[in-house]
Chain A
Amino acid sequence: MLTSMSDIIRFSWAALLGYPTRTILMLTAMAIGVAAVIMLTALGEGARRYVTNEFTSLGTNLVIVFPGYSETSGLNPIAMVGTTPRDLTLEDAQVLSRNTNIRRIAPINIGSVNASFQGRSREVPVIGSNSELLNIRQWELSQGSFLPVTDLDRATPVCVIGSNIRDQLFDTQTAVGQWMRLGDRRFRVIGIMASEGRSIGVDVQDTIIIPVASAQQLFNTPSLFRILVEAKTRSAIEPVKQSTIEIIKERHLGKRDVTVITQDAVLATFDRILAALTYAIGGIAAISLAVAGILIMNVMLVAVSQRTAEIGLLKALGAPQGLIIRLILSEAIMLSAFGAIIGLLLGELGCLAIRQAFPDLPAYAPSWAVLAAITVSLLTGFVFSLLPAQQAARLDPVLALTGK
């Protein structure tokens, strides 16, 4: 007849309650380990999702063209002097737009000017673009209309302003329809951007958008900062990228002097980096679980030596070695299990707190991390108490009874 599992659990439970300090110490160690794994992986995963979301909000099927192309070349006096790339121009954008694989194209010009209205003024970043920008970047208007559909080279004196600019310059007055001053020119406000429109690098609330030709005049430069190209389909991204490089090369006297990146490639890179980061910090957190395991081993060894007389008694009363081992193991595993549960709750609470504090960061622990944390904590509890359990089972009952 074997001692039943429920008896073993009841006995171990009494032992855990009988030594509260030791129990609380070990529960804390285990709980911290598990909570650390859960919270750190949640942070990593949250960062990954945040970046992914931000990139998706840039627009879909996006190909970005910007001037300049760096090549690695050997030690060569000409390369050391360096060459200034040829500018990207509005004509380049117009030629590109003939490609049938392209749905939309938006040239971008940026600069910073002093914006003023009735004596209030502030320095504002200005984007010069066309009517397509709104759809490519998937922004929304809260009032009025976006830039009108016109030829790219037509400099219409209209502007669309961010909600913060509206608040700061117009206060409570109606902004749409008013004339405001950007640098030394006058523009009519035709629309207000919705405040949610936010993506990497640009805070739409604090930006003014004007037609690209107007921006060229305002900043007195014919060159473009970027050309945003939206391919018709996902599979068209690569052909669009290749043909863009070819067309620009042809137009720039056979010299490849633009860089073309696809959003997918950037996104995939970030995704890989951040996933690797999540695994790495998960691994670091797992070390704390191993530390907790070693603590369990130490404390169980101390427990065995503290309870030598008790183990001697159990042996005298006829407990076989296997039973002693099972009693010690069940104690350690119960500790690990309770520790893991407490850690799980703490970790989830921590994640909740992070999400409350940083609403932009979707800090949810990935389920693989939760499973791994619990499995590792149970395993360490088991593995690290094998040694103390065997030591207890091998005690000489006569010596043990005298507490030696």
Chain B
Amino acid sequence: MPLLKLNMIELKKVYRDFLVGDQTVHALDDINLSIQEGEYISIMGPSGSGKSTLLNLIGLLDSATKGSYLLNCQDVTVLPDDQKAAMRSKTIGFVFQAFHLIPRLTATENIELPLMLAGAEPEQRLPLVNKVVTAMNLTDRANHTPDQLSGGQRQRVAIARATIMQPKILLADEPTGNLDQKSGQDVINILEQLNRQGITLIIVTHDANIGQRAMRQLQMVDGRIESDQDLSHSQTNSSSC
């Protein structure tokens, strides 16, 4: 009996154009992509192929020039800034190559930030933060500032921050790019574990070893999806909204 799942992310004929000088560059060129809840996807390709632009667009940090984007069956192609912000806060977590931790705040405070920005009461925040600090194995580093942490620890703090709001989607842009082999492996393990717990994981990487671990692998060239390999073999039928 094939499972019927709704598409969580649905991009149709999406273009993203940039003006460089007086020339229009198609950073995304006719992208059609459907992603279901719980998928583990890697996006690979040479630099300038549009991987990051695609990730930013999915993460509502950027908007399509043309085409439509449905997120959880809601049309988010054109949305006012603050509604996008609210949507990001609730449903999307970001992990960046450069960690993007606020240097003057401790690990705990950095992790707490999304809760604070969402207006959660301090009493509600503390247990949630403690839980992820423990889960990320950061208990003894909780009161350190980022410059007192190793690269791997910093990225674990960033992942904790990205997941504190319990988002459905986790977007990671070169999450191991600034890390050594071992820390990078740790970070990937953590991300995969989060995926097994149900989060939809999308990783942008140019590291083939990492990219090939994903169940579904997208190859991008010149703003187009060149190949879309699904290794999960789970023949689920997807349905449009």
- Minimum distance in angstroms from A167 CB to a CB of chain B: 68
Which chain B positions have C-beta within 8 A of A317? 88-89, 94, 113-114, 117, 161
Q: Which of A14, A18, A312, A314 contacts B117, CB < 8 Å?
A: A314
Kindly identify, within residues 1 to 32 of chain A, every residue whose CB is under 8 Å from any CB belonging to chain B: 1-4, 7, 11, 14-15, 17-18
Q: Which residues of A contact B79 (CB under 8 A)?
A: none
A318: contacting residue among B62, B86, B122, CB under 8 A: B86
B104 interfacial contact with A, CB 8 Å: yes
**CB contact between A320 and one of B56, B86, B100, B121 (< 8 Å): that residue:** B86
Do the beta carbons of B118 and A315 come within 8 Å of each other? no
Closest Cβ of chain B: how far from A278's Cβ, in Å? Answer: 44
Whether A316 contacts B94 in the complex (CB less than 8 A), given A18-B104, A321-B82, A397-B61, comes out as yes
* Closest Cβ–Cβ distance, residue A323 to chain B (whole Å): 7
Contact residues in B for A313 (Cβ distance below 8 Å): 100, 102
B118 close to A14 (CB less than 8 A) = no
Give every chain B residue within 8 A of A17 (Cβ-Cβ): 104
Residues from chain A with Cβ under 8 Å of B98 in the complex: 309
B85 lies within 8 A of A318 (CB): yes
- A398 and B119 contact, CB distance less than 8 A: no
Inter-chain contact A318/B119, CB cutoff 8 Å: no
Q: Is the CB of A323 within 8 A of B102?
A: no
B177 lies within 8 A of chain A by Cβ:
no
- The range of chain A's interface size is 20 to 34
Give the distance in Å from the alpha carbon of A298 to the alpha carbon of B90 in the complex: 35
Interface string of A49-93 (1 = CB under 8 A from B): 000000000000000000000000000000000000000000000
Shortest Cβ gap from A368 to chain B (Å): 40
Inter-chain contacts of A14 with B (CB < 8 A): 104-105, 109
Is the CB–CB distance between A316 and B88 below 8 Å? Answer: yes
For A322, give its contact among B59, B61, B82, B161 (CB under 8 Å).
Answer: B82
Q: Which residue of A lies closest to B62 (CB)?
A: A398
Are B89's CB and A1's CB within 8 A? no
A319 to B122, CA, bound (A): 17
> If the complex has contacts A4-B119, A18-B103, A317-B117, are A401 and B88 also in contact, measured as CB distance less than 8 A?
no
**Per-residue interface assignment for chain B, residues 60 to 98, with 1 indicating a CB less than 8 Å from any chain A CB and 0 otherwise:** 011000000000000000000110011111100010101
Q: Nearest residue in B to A17 (C-beta to C-beta)?
A: B104
Which residues of chain A have C-beta atoms less than 8 A from B114's C-beta? 317-318
**Pick from A2, A312, A321: contact of B119, CB under 8 Å:** A2
A11 near B118 (CB under 8 angstroms)?
Answer: no
Known: A323-B117, A398-B62. A315 touches B85 (CB 8 A): yes
Q: Is A310 an interface residue (CB 8 A)?
A: yes
| CA of A334 to CA of B104, assembled, Å | 18
Q: Is B231 an interface residue (CB 8 A)?
A: no
Instruction: Specify which chain A residues have a CB less than 8 angstroms from the CB of B82 in the assembled complex.
Output: 320-322
- Please encode chain A, from 213 to 232, with 1 for each CB lying within 8 Å of some chain B CB and 0 for all others: 00000000000000000000
Query: Which of B62, B109, B116 is within 8 Å of A3, CB to CB?
Result: B116
How far, in angstroms, from A322 to B117 measured CA to CA in the complex? 11
B104 CB, min distance to chain A CBs, angstroms? 3
Cβ-based interface call for B120 (8 A): yes
Determine if B90 and A318 form an interchain contact, defined as CB atoms under 8 angstroms apart: yes
Question: Are A318 and B118 interface neighbours, CB within 8 A?
Answer: yes
Contacts A/B (CB < 8 Å), 10 sampled: A7-B122, A309-B100, A313-B100, A316-B61, A316-B88, A318-B89, A319-B117, A322-B82, A323-B117, A401-B61
**18 extra interchain contacts, Cβ-Cβ under 8 A, other than A317-B88, A319-B117, A321-B82?**
A1-B118, A4-B121, A7-B116, A309-B98, A313-B102, A316-B59, A316-B94, A316-B100, A317-B94, A317-B113, A317-B114, A318-B90, A319-B85, A320-B82, A320-B85, A397-B61, A401-B96, A401-B100
Interface residues of A (CB under 8 A from B): 1-4, 7, 11, 14-15, 17-18, 309-310, 312-323, 397-398, 401
- Nearest first, the 4 A-B pairs at minimum CB distance are A318-B89, A1-B119, A18-B104, A320-B82
